Amino acid sequence: MTTRRDLLAGAGLAALATQLPLAAFAQAKDSVTIGMTLEPPTLDPTSGAAQAIREVVLQNIFEGLVAMDRTGKLVPALAESWTLAPDNLTYTFKLRPNARFHDGTPFSSRDVKFSFERAVAPDSTNAQRWIFMPIESIETPDPITVIVKLKQPTANFIYGLSWGDAIIVSQATAANNKTNPVGTGPFKFARWNRGDRLELARNDEYWGTKPSLAKATFRFISDPQAQVAALRAGDIDVFTNLSAPEAIPQLKADPKLKVTLGKTEGETILAINNAKAPFSDVRVRHAISHVLDRKTIALGIYGFDLDYIGSHFSPLHPAYVDLTGTYPVDLAKARALLAAAGFPKGFECTLRLPPPAYARRGGEIVAALLAQIGITAKIEPLEFPQWLERVFKARDFDLTIISHTEPLDIANYARDDYYFQYRNPEFKALIETIDRTVDEAQRNKLYGDAQRMLARDAVNGFLFILPKITVTKADLDGMWTDWPLPLTPLAEVRWR
Amino acid sequence: MTMYILRRLASFFATLLGAAIVIFLVLEILPGDPAAVTLGLNAAPEALAALRAEMGLDQPALLRFFNWIGGLLTGDLGLSYTYRVPVTQLIGERMVVTLPLASMAILLASAIGIPLGALAAANHNRAGDAAVMVFAQAGLAIPNFWFGLLLVLVFAVGAGWLPAGGFPGWQAGFWPALKSLLLPAIALALPQAAILARVTRSAMLETMQEDYVRTARAKGVSRRRTMLRHVLRNALIPVVTVLGLQFSVLLAGAIIIENVFALPGLGRLVFQSIAQHDLIVVKDLVMLFSALVVFINFAIELLYGLIDPRLRQAS
């Protein structure tokens, strides 16, 4: 229990900290400064795909009906509980009776209906419409009950509701959420100096457990050297995903800091154009898989071992199957496979790389590995918009390296025209079955089959899971170190 | 003088129009759809179409060009694709960082470079001269991002006197804001100071050969007074020219320095807008920078007229 005196003391301390911006007071124990690489372009996660938006606002300012916890488990949020009728179609959500938006408006079932209908409206720019597409109808018999009927059983419906694209917004304020977000979460938006920092303040009216922090400041530092300098100078208390892996030994040696290497949902792949010869020949793809020495690639990019993958699936998910041993490094076998496919001397191709360091550095190493069996990959660095246009949209590429950071995006392999163009009716049918399999154990088994199928066909070169490097001050607790969803929830963060 | 100004003014506006056309055309042929960048790898085609309409990307290019020029003339720079706020607001927020930063850098560079150059010229072929030349050589050779990192290492990480980067905003108070601009301004000023020192030195050495200098000395004017009144003043024309030319170098340097120090200035805005394909901001900023550079050149030509009355008549 927080007593009135504690609150007063806290407020007094906060006031002191703002009035005396001295180094000693900058570490007042109820505020935290968080470093991030990218700045969110807007603050409305329903209007764009930028991960940085979610990292700042999801579970801090905005909440969904359900949330994901740090282990990747679904937990209640604005919905206290929910049930699925035996028809596997009708979800009944019981809402929190005492939740309020930051502007004081009470939260009710009407807001849920408004938010979901807004997401699929014709002028909606929601990047994840698939979450809401299965909805047949939404009923609101009373302010704290929502009944959602689906067109067909959809296993991942509830899961999708934990995403940033499914946050609940208020009709009165939704239009302004891009610049002045109003949600129901434990923190309120306070101030945004674009290009530098964004401040959140504790929401004292929060329906759930009040956060220990009164104030949180996100600082945006894109230069890796500047990130390390800010940490070492003590300007920031935590960096959520450091871009300077080479600085890890130096940071680990600092007793004031602790470094954690976490897992993410970022499957990093050597994507292959399956529709284009010679890559349409499975033997060529097998040959490529046999030369991709994951450890060499990881050490070359990061300087340390990573979590490797053998299919398009993150080890964070319970349905993960370890398939990393499917294609052991074997140059002789790779050469034989290439010869059998009609390329005894190899061939030339292009390797188009987006800007992130894992792609640019990884590309050099992959090209060197491929050269061992005579595949000469010409490296072409691209800016991200050009990568999106040429590789992703026009599918004009041979090979590329990219990390797919959305959870459960294995379903993209069922899209015929998705950029790597894996066209397999068997796989499509399997994904459809998975979508309709509500039983979790059964569904996880099917996910295992899907992973094996992708590994068997060597659709892409499956490399590793993007690591999340979290650096925190030694006496700060509660930060997420894994990323089942890319978020920075601050409700449980506290100074020791 | 009036004709001189009018002619300069006409070429000023012609240059700006030319710049606007080139900027628009270049960004027009650049591949990449800003809407696709915003919505990412899982976007549905309907959502993309809706966003393109919202951004005005579905209009024909010519119409967009005239809308843009019309907007520029009326002070409406449009809405940023990524931030969704007026570009004028964005530029205003960034200007209060870059302008003081650039001014501090120019002042520092002049305050260090010009006296050092004068000192070197006065001590030509002596130890002082050699020392200044070594400084100038080092200042030119050291990349300013590296020097910036060095400053951070010494004064922020080591001594803890100044922040390693970021900008608390002027609302945090004058001193905290100024403190966070100090190291970047020094890093930015170093190469400029080096160039100014060299230019001042050689311009003064050249002027010292002039007849009027010898006349002044022969008339019995003190060496010190000759140097200040006659030599330095006449050497200022090349120095001012270089100062003007350096302004564009300073803008380019600011992009790097603002990244090293995570400063929310115009330079970093350019960098981010290009990366995020916020073409409208890129367009407006490049236009703004062109206008600034053209304007500075214009102002410098006017300054020539003031410093050297002969130039007024010559034109």
- Give me the residue from A23, A195, A388 closest to B37, CB to CB: A388
Given CB atoms, is A175 within the 8 Å cutoff of chain B? no
pLDDT, tens digit, for every residue of A179-208? 999 999 999 999 998 888 999 999 999 999
- Give me the residue from A125, A129, A223 closest to B262, CB to CB: A223
Residues 6+ apart with CB under 8 A from A265: A314, A316, A317, A405, A406, A407, A408, A409, A465, A483, A484, A485, A486
Judge: A389–B47 Cβ closer than 8 Å, yes or no. no
| DSSP 8-state assignment for residue A404 | E
Nearest CA in chain B to A119: B47
Mean pLDDT of chain A: 91
Judge: B41–A392 Cβ closer than 8 Å, yes or no. yes
Provide, as residue numbers in chain A, all residues whose Cβ is less than 8 Å from the Cβ of B53: 123
Judge: A197–B274 Cβ closer than 8 Å, yes or no. no
In this prediction, residue B311 carries a pLDDT of 62
Provide, as residue numbers in chain B, all residues whose Cβ is less than 8 Å from the Cβ of A41: 38, 82-84, 276
| DSSP 8-state assignment for residue B79 | B
Q: Tell me how crowded residue A122 is: count the other CB atoms within 10 A of its CB.
A: 7
Residues 6+ apart with CB under 8 A from A446: A430, A433, A434, A437
Structure tokens at B19: 């710049």
Q: Is the dihedral of CA A114, A116, A122, A125 positive or negative?
A: positive
Provide, as residue numbers in chain B, all residues whose Cβ is less than 8 Å from the Cβ of A130: 42, 44
Q: How far, in Å, CA of A18 to CA of A1, rounded?
A: 26
Q: Does the structure show a pLDDT above 90 at A324? A: yes
Mean pLDDT of chain B: 83
Q: Which residues pair with A90 in a beta bridge?
A: A149
Q: How far, in Å, CA of B276 to CA of A69, rounded?
A: 30
Q: How far, in Å, CA of B233 to CA of B230, rounded?
A: 6
Structure tokens at A355: 């800007």
Judge: A406–B54 Cβ closer than 8 Å, yes or no. no
Q: Does the structure show a pLDDT above 90 at A135? A: yes
**Substitution target from B27, B46, B150 for chain A, most A beta carbons within 10 A:** B46
The length of chain B is: 315
Judge: A195–B156 Cβ closer than 8 Å, yes or no. no
Nearest CA in chain A to B169: A193
Provide, as residue numbers in chain A, all residues whose Cβ is less than 8 Å from the Cβ of B169: 193, 196
| DSSP 8-state assignment for residue B171 | G
Residues 6+ apart with CB under 8 A from B39: A48, A49, A125, A127, B47, B48, B51
Nearest CA in chain B to A221: B262
In this prediction, residue B310 carries a pLDDT of 66
Q: Which of A10-19, A262-271, B209-218 has the lowest mean pLDDT?
A: A10-19
Q: Does the structure show a pLDDT above 90 at B42? A: no
Residues 6+ apart with CB under 8 A from B2: none
**Alpha carbon of A359: minimum distance to chain B alpha carbons (Å):** 16
pLDDT, tens digit, for every residue of A389-448? 889 988 999 999 999 988 888 999 998 889 999 999 999 999 999 999 988 899 999 999
Given CB atoms, is A276 within the 8 Å cutoff of chain B? no
In this prediction, residue A12 carries a pLDDT of 42
Residue type, B267: G
Provide, as residue numbers in chain B, all residues whose Cβ is less than 8 Å from the Cβ of A48: 38-40
Q: How far, in Å, CA of A173 to CA of A188, rounded?
A: 14
Given CB atoms, is A222 within the 8 Å cutoff of chain B? yes
Who wins on pLDDT, A73 or B304?
A73
DSSP assignment of B112-126 equals HHHHHHHHHHHTTTS
In this prediction, residue B1 carries a pLDDT of 65
Given CB atoms, is A197 within the 8 Å cutoff of chain B? yes
**Three-class SS state of A216:** strand
ipTM associated with this complex: 0.76
Which pTM value belongs to this model? 0.83
